[in-house]
Structure 1
Amino acid sequence: MRSKEGDETESRSLPVDLIIEILTKLPPRSLSRLICVSKLWLSIIHGKYFNDLYLTRSSTRPRLLLHRYSHDTRSSHYSSLSKNQLSLVDSVTLPGLQISPPVRGLICCVDHYSSIVVIGNPSTGQFLTLTDVITDQIFFGYDPVNDLYKVLSMNFVHNIDRSVVIEKSQVLTLGGGQESWRMIECKYPYYPGTQGKCHNGVVYYGAWSNLTDRRSVVVCFDLRSEEFSLITLPEDVQIVSYIESDLVSYNGKIALVNVSRNCEFDLWVLMDVKRHEWSKYSVVVPTCDFFRCRGTIETGELIFEQLYFGDQFSILYYHPEQDKARRVDLDRSGDTMSGCRKLFLNHVESPIFLPRKFIH
Structure 2
Amino acid sequence: QIGFHQHFLFQILTLTTSLHSYRHKQTHLPLMNSPPAKSRNLNGAPTALPVLLDELISEILSLLPVKTLMQMKCVCKLWKTIIFDPAFAKLHLQRSPRSTHLLLIQNWSNPNEGLDCSVEPYPVTNLLEIPLRIGRFSPFYTYRDIDAIPVDPHYRLKNLSCWQIVGSCNGLLCLLGGSCATKNHTTWLRLWNPATNTLSEKLAYLTNFCCRFAFGYDISTDSYKAVAFSANKVKVFRFGDNVWRNIECLPVVPFALEATRLNCHPFVYNGVYVSGAINWLAIRNKINYEWKDITVDQFVIVSLDLGTETYRELLPPQGFVEVPPVQPSVTVLMDRLCFSHRTKGTHFVLWTMMEFGVQESWTQFLKISFQNLRIDHGISDSLPYGSQLFLLPLSSCERSNTLIIATNQEGDVFSNQRAILFNWKHNRVEQVTSFYNDILWFFTKEYVESLVSTCPKTTTSTSNTYGVIDG
Pick the TM interval, shorter chain.
Answer: 0.7 to 0.9
Q: For residues 113 and 69 of structure 1, do their structure 2 counterparts lie closer, same or farther at Cα, with a shift above 3 Å needed?
A: farther
Task: Give 1:251 shift.
Answer: 4.8
CA contact (8 A) 1:260 1:292 kept: no
**Which consecutive residues of structure 2, in runs of 5 or more, have no partner in the other structure?**
1-16, 23-52, 128-145, 181-186, 257-268, 376-388, 457-462, 467-471
- The aligned counterpart of 1:180 is 243
Matched, 1:132 2:173: no
SS in 1 for 2:156: strand
- Give 1:261 shift: 9.6
Do 2:330 and 2:340's aligned partners in 1 also have CA atoms closer than 8 Å?
yes
CA contact 1:292–1:307 (8 Å) conserved in 2: no
Structure 1 pair 312/330, CA: closer, same or farther in 2 (3 Å)?
A: farther
Q: Which residue of 1 aligns with 2:427?
A: 324
Match of 2:315 in 1: 232
2:442 and 2:151 mapped to 1: Cα distance?
A: 14
Question: Which residue identity lines up with residue 267 of structure 1 in the other structure?
Answer: L
Q: How many angstroms does 1:151 deviate by?
A: 0.9
What's the counterpart of residue 211 of structure 1?
Answer: 287
Partner Cα distance (1:272, 1:109) in 2: 30
Measured in 2, the distance between the counterparts of 1:237 and 1:70 equals 40
In the TM superposition, residue 117 of structure 1 has moved relative to its aligned partner by 2.1
Q: C-alpha deviations, 1:73-124, integer Å up to 9, x for none?
A: 4233221122443453556232555433421112223246552323222222
Contact 1:256 1:269 in 2 (8 A): yes
Match of 1:155 in 2: 230
1:30-75: CA deviation from partner (whole Å, max 9, x where unpaired): 5456556665444322213311222123225722221234433423
Of 48, 62, 66, the residue aligned with 2:100 is: 62
Change in 2 beyond 3 A, CA 1:329/1:302? closer
* Alignment check: 8 A CA contact 1:71 1:339 kept: no
What displacement does 1:265 show?
Answer: 0.2
Q: Which amino acid aligns with 1:297?
A: C
2:21 counterpart (5, 8, 13): 13
Distance verdict in 2 for CA 1:185–1:94, change over 3 Å: same
| Secondary structure of residue in 2 paired with 1:132 | strand
Within the candidate set 65, 86, 102, 1:48 is matched to 86
Q: For the residues of structure 1 that align with 2:393 and 2:449, how far apart are their CA atoms?
A: 23
- Residue 157 of structure 2 is aligned to residue 118 of structure 1: no
Matched, 1:169 2:251: no
CA–CA separation in structure 2 for the residues paired with 1:313 and 1:53: 37
Task: Map residues 65-80 of structure 1 onto 2, 5 A cutoff.
Answer: 65-72=103-110, 73-80=114-121
- Between 77-86 and 350-359, report the one with greater CA deviation: 350-359
The CA distance in 2 between the partners of 1:89 and 1:282, in whole Å, is 37
Larger Rg: 2
Q: Write the distance in 2 (CA, Å) between the matches of 1:74 and 1:236.
A: 40
Tell me the residue number matched to 2:453.
Answer: 353
With 10-19 and 292-301 compared, the bigger mean Cα shift is at 10-19
The answer to whether the 8 A contact 2:351-2:363 is kept is yes
Does 2:404 correspond to 1:303? yes
How has the CA–CA distance of structure 1 residues 105 and 187 changed in structure 2, closer, same or farther, with 3 Å as cutoff? closer
CA 1:62–1:51 in structure 2 vs 1: closer, same or farther (change >3 Å)?
same
TM-score normalised by structure 1 residue count? 0.75
**SS of residue matched to 1:55:** helix
- Report whether the alignment pairs 1:282 with 2:375: no
How many equivalent residue pairs? 334
Residue 329 of structure 1 aligns with an amino acid whose one-letter code is: V
What TM-score, normalized to structure 2? 0.59
1:252–1:351 distance in 2 versus 1, CA, 3 Å: closer
**Where is the strand percentage greater, Structure 1 or Structure 2?**
1
**In terms of mean alpha carbon deviation, does 303-312 or 129-138 score higher?**
303-312
Check if 1:293 corresponds to 2:369.
no
The secondary structure found in structure 1 opposite 2:419 is strand
Measured after TM superposition, the shift of residue 188 of structure 1 is 1.3
Between 114-123 and 29-38, the greater mean CA deviation after superposition: 29-38
Match of 1:99, as an amino acid? Answer: I
Aligned partners of 2:166 and 2:215 also within 8 Å? yes
Amino acid corresponding to residue 319 of structure 1 in structure 2:
N
Residue 226 of structure 1: how far off its partner (Å) = 0.9
